[in-house]
Structure 1
Amino acid sequence: MWGGRTGALLRVWGLWPAGVRGRRPLGCNAASLAGNNSPQCWNCGGPGVPKRGDGFFCPQCRALQPPDLTRDYFSLMDCNRAFGVDTAKLQNRYQQLQRLVHPDFFSQRSQTEKDFSEKHATLVNDAYKTLLAPLSRGLYLVS
Structure 2
Amino acid sequence: MWGGRVQVLFRLWGLRSAGVPGRRLLSCSAASEKGSSSLRCWNCGGPGGPGPGDGFFCQQCRALQPPDPTRDYFSLMDCNRSFRVDTTKLQNRFQQLQRLVHPDFFSQRSQTEKDFSEKHSTIVNDAYKTLLAPLSRGLYLVS
Structure-2 change in CA distance of 1:79 and 1:104 (3 Å): same
Q: What's the offset of the Cα at 1:101?
A: 0.1
Query: Aligned residue for 2:122?
Result: 122
> Are the counterparts in 2 of residues 73 and 127 from structure 1 also a CA contact under 8 Å?
yes
TM score, norm. by length of structure 1: 0.71
Consecutive unaligned residues in structure 2, runs of 5 or more: 1-35
Q: What's the offset of the Cα at 1:37?
A: 9.3
> Are the counterparts in 1 of residues 51 and 57 from structure 2 also a CA contact under 8 Å?
no
Query: Aligned residue for 1:84?
Result: 84
1:1-143 map, 5 Å:
39-49=39-49, 52-143=52-143
Cα distance in 2 for residues equivalent to 1:37 and 1:121? 25
**What percent identity do the matched residue pairs reach?**
86
> Are the counterparts in 2 of residues 54 and 76 from structure 1 also a CA contact under 8 Å?
no
Structure-2 change in CA distance of 1:80 and 1:124 (3 Å): same
Determine helix, strand or coil for the equivalent of 2:114: helix
Structure-2 change in CA distance of 1:74 and 1:83 (3 Å): same
Structure-2 change in CA distance of 1:72 and 1:92 (3 Å): same
Query: Aligned residue for 1:29?
Result: none
Query: Aligned residue for 2:26?
Result: none
Cα distance in 1 for residues equivalent to 2:96 and 2:60? 22
More helix as a share of residues: 2
Q: What's the offset of the Cα at 1:54?
A: 2.8
TM score, norm. by length of structure 2: 0.71
Structure-2 change in CA distance of 1:95 and 1:112 (3 Å): same
Number of positions where the alignment pairs a residue of Structure 1 with one of Structure 2: 108
Structure-2 change in CA distance of 1:51 and 1:58 (3 Å): closer
Q: CA RMSD in A?
A: 1.7
